[in-house]
Amino acid sequence: MNVAFYAPLKAPDHPTPSGDRTMARMLMRALKVGGHQVTLASRLRSLERHGDAAEQARIRGRGQRSLQRVLQRYRGVPTACLPQVWFTYHLYHKAPDLLGPAVSRALGVPYIVAEASHAPKQAGGPWDKGYRAAAEAIEGAARIITLNPVDEACVRALLGGDGRISRLAPFIDARASVARVQRGCGCGVGARKAARETLRETTRAMVGAQPGEAVLVTVAMMRRGDKLASYRLLAAALNRLRDRPWRLLIIGDGPARDEVRALFAALGARVHLAGQVRPDELCAQIAGCDLHLWPAVNEAWGMAFLEAAAAGVASVAGNEGGVDAVVHQGDTGVLVPPRDVAAFADAVALLLVDTPRREALGRRARQRVLDEHAIETAARHLDSVLADAMREVRHA
């Protein structure tokens, strides 16, 4: 069916990389894998970070103008080419959907939302209008697809039940990621072990790892706020492990790169900042490492955990937000209490010396991402959600 796709927080073709942009792209791809025709309905960004009422009013004005343009565009489209579903990814009080509910009503099509957040404590606050707009959109949705289980309770309470809620496991194109690992070293299909060893040799040379030193990896944007807080916790944990044999590869870049560099300065050459890596090279880079680390302050769930799993690398993670939806304690990695530097350092220390367990966790992580977090699985789930919503429209 024809699907109009919209991401009010950040458009899938926005120039700045982020997890939100990646997930928007992945949802579009999954819908296409399911056989649907997907078009980007608008690039309007409704995000207002600071609780500025004047800026929010300006955004609402832009929203009204964008809404009229979208409706005008659809008035000139043959019926067979009109959207049959409107699909919005990630709305909440700071980034409400100013388009989808109105367009869906005008066209008489189902309004579907993936990753909606409802925060009652925002009522009457600086984002009150965005809070109310997001709540109205959620209440009017035919289906709510949740990727982060943490969001479900408040959304369920708003809807008065969970009949419209469907949980979708976070996902990546796992098979493509595995194939990139093999291509990254020139290995053919079925040469996974050889691929890993070749990539490890390359990575160890890049970071200057000595015999017996494990190569740790972190993949994250360098932004102030929660990302920088996570980097701060990671640096503190690794400072506790100065006497252990390791090197750290950091993949990522952003406006807080100088602050991140300063956090790890005391660790000297043991930390290598690689900068930003192309998405099609990321999995191969991770595959050259031994263990993935991220404290995950306020993390929704974290795409990098799935990339690490696809590369066959286990994770040590802070158990915050929806991280336990992608890192499975004792099976694909180790979860530690949120923001607990000592516990994080202890978990890393244990896996540094227990190579068989570390590698077993990595193998299981790879299998689980292929079984449970692959784009093909997501495509089937999304297709089922869309089909159910369409049946309700036809029977209304």
Per-residue pLDDT band for 280 (boundaries 50, 70, 90) equals confident
Tell me the mean pLDDT in the region 105-124: 96
Q: Is the pLDDT of residue 198 over 70?
A: yes
Averaged pLDDT, 194-218: 90
Average pLDDT, the chain: 93
Per-domain residue ranges for the chain?
2-171+375-395, 174-372
Phi, psi of 314 (to 5 degrees): -75, 165
Predicted pLDDT of residue 189? 45
pLDDT for position 184: 55
Choice among 11-15, 299-303, 305-309 with the minimum mean pLDDT: 299-303
Sheet arrangement for strand 291-294 = 271-275, 246-251, 214-219, 291-294, 315-318, 333-336
In angstroms, what CA-CA distances link 28 with 146, 187, 352?
A: 16, 30, 39
- The predicted structure's pLDDT at residue 191: 52
Overall pTM > 0.75: yes
Q: Looking at residue 373, what is its pLDDT?
A: 94
Of the candidate CATH numbers 3.40.50.2000, 3.40.630.30, 3.30.390.50, 2.40.160.60, the domain formed by 2-171+375-395 belongs to 3.40.50.2000
Q: For 23-58, how does the pLDDT look when each residue is reduced to its tens digit (9 = 90+)?
A: 999 999 999 999 999 999 999 999 999 999 999 999
Of 3.30.499.10, 3.40.50.2000, 1.10.1660.10, 3.30.70.270, the CATH number of 174-372 is 3.40.50.2000
Please give the helix or strand (H or E) that residue 333 lies within, else none: strand 333-336
* Mean pLDDT, residues 240-264 taken together: 97
Check if the beta carbon of residue 272 is closer than 8 Å to that of residue 250. yes
Residue 105 has pLDDT above 90, yes or no: yes
234 vs 321, more confident = 234
What is the DSSP-derived secondary structure letter of residue 114? E
Give the H/E segment covering residue 131.
Answer: helix 128-140
- Listing DSSP states for 155-169 in one string gives HHHHHTSSTTEEE--
For 268-275, what is the mean pLDDT? 96
pLDDT confidence tier of residue 99, bands split at 50, 70 and 90:
very high
Residue 113: pLDDT above 70?
yes
What's the confidence (pLDDT) of residue 320?
93
pLDDT digits (tens, 9 = 90+) for 140-194: 999 999 998 888 899 999 998 878 999 999 999 988 877 777 665 544 444 556 6
Q: In the structure encoding, which two tokens stand for residue 382, read together?
A: 């999304």
SS3 at position 139 = helix
Same fold for the pair 2-171+375-395 and 174-372: yes
Kindly state the percentage of the chain with pLDDT values over 90. Answer: 83
For the residues 131-136, what does the mean pLDDT come to? 97
Please tell me the predicted confidence (pLDDT) of residue 76: 82
Whether the pLDDT of residue 395 is over 70: the answer is no
When mean pLDDT is compared across 231-240, 276-285, 303-312, 346-355, the lowest value belongs to: 276-285
